[in-house]
Amino acid sequence: MAHHFYFMPINYLIFWLILIFQLSFSFSLAVYLLSLIFSSLMGSPYVPTKNQQINLFLQAANLKKGQLVYDLGCGDGRIVRQAAIQYQVKGVGFDVNILLLFYARLMAKLQHLSQVDFVRQNLLTVDLHQADVVYIFLMPSLIKKLVAKFKQEMKKNSLLISHGFAVEGLEDKLIRIIQQKPFPTYFYRL
């Protein structure tokens, strides 16, 4: 006697739904990982800063309502979003990673933060003239490429916050260091 195996209609549907879900998940994961690799190749990997650290250095920055805060290499936008919520500042995050910018915009929309914006732009071409505060968490090799830009474009008395690495060439502008693990935070008054 021959045995014939066949899917009942509901089993067939479940099989295809599971297959589609697995393929969608695998594709999404691959796209996400490729976007992270792209960010790394462009100068800095995506490494999210912990909220406790963000609160500490935002408080130390002594932000004032209405100031303009730039985050170069903003990733998911948590710095400018947190600054906007806690200190009523305006914020602009710049990054090259489309997926992280999409997430940052989505979170800002869900948090009803109309005073923040996220822009896809190479950090080396961002105009810094209007910023009151510039935050970076970048690799030293990329920071070196930005030092001349900081000196030329940041307005007088603006604040540069570098989380993770000191900014070579601005030692005379250093006003504070917060020692914390895993990364210290450096404050420079331009």
Residue with tokens 């930005």: 146
Q: What is the DSSP pairing of strand 159-163 with strand 185-189?
A: antiparallel
The full set of domain ranges for the chain reads: 1-41, 51-189
- The reported pTM is 0.78
Q: Where are the beta strands (DSSP E) in the chain?
A: 68-72, 90-95, 116-120, 133-136, 159-163, 174-178, 185-189
CA 71/CA 92 separation, integer angstroms: 6
**pLDDT, mean of residues 138-150:** 93
Q: What is the DSSP pairing of strand 68-72 with strand 90-95?
A: parallel
Positive/negative CA dihedral, 186, 46, 127, 134: negative
Residue 32 confidence (pLDDT) above 70 = no
120 DSSP assignment: E
- Please give the C-alpha separations between residue 20 and each of 17, 26, 137, in angstroms, as whole numbers: 5, 10, 38
CA 190/CA 175 separation, integer angstroms: 10
Q: Render pLDDT for 78-135 as a digit per residue (tens, 0 to 9).
A: 999 999 999 999 999 999 888 889 999 999 999 999 999 999 999 999 999 999 999 9
Whether the CB-CB separation of 86 and 61 falls below 8 Å is answered with no
At residue 33, what are phi and psi to the nearest 5 degrees? Answer: -65, -40
Instruction: Give the lowest-confidence range in 12-16, 34-38, 63-67, 92-96.
Output: 34-38
- Give the residue, 112 or 3, on which the prediction is more confident: 112
- Give the residue, 41 or 173, on which the prediction is more confident: 173
Assigned CATH class of 51-189: alpha beta
